Amino acid sequence: MTFASLGLIDPLLRALDTLGYKTPTPVQAQAIPAVLAGRDLMAAAQTGTGKTAGFALPLLQRLTLQGSPVASNSVRVLVLVPTRELAVQVHKSFHEYAGNLPLRMAVAFGGVSINPQMMKLRKGLDVLVATPGRLLDLHRQNAVRFNQVETLVLDEADRMLDLGFSRELDAVFAALPKRMQTLLFSATFSDAIRALAGTLLVDPLSIEVSPRNTTAKGVKQWMIPVDKKRKTELFTNLLRKKRWGQVLVFVKTRKGVEQLVGSLLAQGITADSIHGDKPQPGRLRALERFKTAEVQVLVATDVAARGLDIDDLPQVVNFDLPIVAEDYIHRIGRTGRAGAVGEAISLVCADEVQLLAAIEALTRQTLRRTEEPGFEPEHRVPVTDTGGQVLKKPKKPKKPKVGGGRF
């Protein structure tokens, strides 16, 4: 199968050829014809399988062929995403695919000045990629109108609900036209998202390229039991011993991110951070430094679990396990992308055993345990199974005997 056989127009085919796209991925092969036909769509595909092209390419073609004039402050295609990083990535993909097309596109997210975003909307846009909060800010200031929206795309909608965007999404849905094409794309679909789809989509085509809540086959996964207080020491030991190149590290809290970065810098290891408290220019600069190999280690909270598209990233390390089990899938999906091979290593302490059990139950696989010599934990990590059960409780330390002996 080729992209031409899917019915894409020549300007898009030339752009894909320039980008080195050879054959459609399974999600692209199924989604592109459906979107071209105007169908509502609910697609579940692992991250890194090319789902952005699955909706961007056919939408760009429809926008071009229909050629409808767009009014001032209006939008024809609206793409909603959960994070700033994903907004930038999706907007970049649209621009790359539309390099030979006369279409206007922009991106809008919080953490930066709203004025330049308002200026871009004045002439009207064919495509707007936005986070829910900033989109509502623009709408309340009459900077964007929804009456011309032909297609709504919800990318990583489950993550938007996880991040507490329910009210913002409800407000956006209430303001949108009653009749429009709606596309839901995500690596995982929670029950809440399936319920949401039931209220928004009309006779949708359902695509599930991979089983629900599965991890990419190209990612080798294992865990190392360790005491919490020795995680930093273990990580730096692995970094040097295994001669890792670039590593993306996930930490639970913003404070924990900065503590780890500080420790790495003190040891002469180049590192930078991405988290919610960091201003957007700083986050983009950290990502760019990592992409250009100026820094070896990028430490992030789950704000970066979706939306980071880094070529040839060999290692992802879960310094802390995620609170939400689904985030494990998105974290490790940063490596092993587009058919490449990657490694995902989790450093697990005893008090994370319930989080471990939840991940194994979700993915229906038990993470292989490998103890690192010299870092065997004093507080043992109980054995778990794919049913989410903790099979063995950690042994309580023996109490020392008191008195009564001869001297």
Rounded to whole angstroms, the Cα distance separating 245 from 243 reads: 6
33 in a structural domain: yes
pLDDT of res. 227: 95
395 in a structural domain: no
The amino acid that residue 152 corresponds to is L
Is this structure's pTM higher than 0.75? Answer: no
85 and 182 share a domain? yes
180 and 36 share a domain? yes
Which tokens is 249 given? 């590290």
324 and 243 share a domain? yes
234 and 167 share a domain? no
What's the average model confidence in pLDDT over 271-287? 85
CB 83 within 8 A of CB 58: no
Rounded to whole angstroms, the Cα distance separating 236 from 263 reads: 9
What's the average model confidence in pLDDT over 323-351? 80
The amino acid that residue 212 corresponds to is R
pLDDT of res. 406: 41
Which of residues 155, 187, 208 is at a domain's end?
208
169 and 252 share a domain? no
pLDDT of res. 294: 92
CB 134 within 8 A of CB 109: yes
Give me the residues paired with residue 127 across strands: 77, 105
102 in a structural domain: yes
Q: Is the dihedral of CA 398, 402, 404, 407 positive or negative?
A: positive
168 in a structural domain: yes
Q: What angle do CA 375, 323, 301 make, to 5 degrees?
A: 80
pLDDT of res. 404: 46
Distances (CA, A) of 113 to 80, 116, 137: 19, 7, 12
39 in a structural domain: yes
404 in a structural domain: no
Closest Cα partner for 382 from 345, 351, 360? 351
**Exposure string (b/e) for 249-285, b if CB count within 10 Å is 16 or more?**
bbbbebebbbebbeebeeeebebbbbbeebeeeebbe
CA 119 to chain centre: 29
164 and 224 share a domain? no
105 and 241 share a domain? no
pLDDT tier at 44, thresholds 50, 70, 90: confident
pLDDT tier at 309, thresholds 50, 70, 90: low
Closest Cα partner for 185 from 105, 81, 84? 81
pLDDT tier at 407, thresholds 50, 70, 90: very low
Which of residues 208, 234, 265 is at a domain's end?
208
317 and 196 share a domain? no
314 and 195 share a domain? no
Rounded to whole angstroms, the Cα distance separating 57 from 13 reads: 10
Phi-psi region of 38 (alpha: psi -120 to 50; beta: other; left: phi over 0): left
SS3 at position 77: strand
CA 94 to chain centre: 17
Rounded to whole angstroms, the Cα distance separating 265 from 243 reads: 17
165 and 223 share a domain? no
Distances (CA, A) of 35 to 57, 158, 267: 9, 21, 51
- Choose the weakest-confidence range: 120-134, 192-206, 364-378: 192-206
Cα torsion 135, 140, 143, 149 to 10°: value is: 60
Give the residue with greater pLDDT, 142 vs 399.
142
pLDDT digits (tens, 9 = 90+) for 239-264: 999 898 889 999 999 899 999 999 99
311 in a structural domain: yes
At which residue do the structure tokens 């894909």 appear?
A: 16
| CATH, residue 348 | 3.40.50.300
Give the residue with greater pLDDT, 111 vs 57.
57
CB 1 within 8 A of CB 23: yes
**Residue-number span of the structural domain to which 301 is assigned:** 219-369
Count structural domains, the chain. Answer: 2
Instruction: Provide the 10 A C-beta neighbour count for residue 330.
Output: 26
H runs (alpha helix) in 67-131:
84-97, 115-121
pLDDT digits (tens, 9 = 90+) for 118-153: 999 999 999 999 999 999 999 999 999 999 999 999
Helix-strand-coil split of the chain, %, nearest 5: 40, 15, 45
160 and 259 share a domain? no
pLDDT of res. 397: 46
Q: What angle do CA 281, 278, 53 make, to 5 degrees?
A: 60
In Å, the largest CA–CA distance within the chain is: 98
131 and 190 share a domain? yes
Rounded to whole angstroms, the Cα distance separating 214 from 118 reads: 40
110 in a structural domain: yes
Q: Phi/psi at 251 (nearest 5 deg)?
A: -125, 150
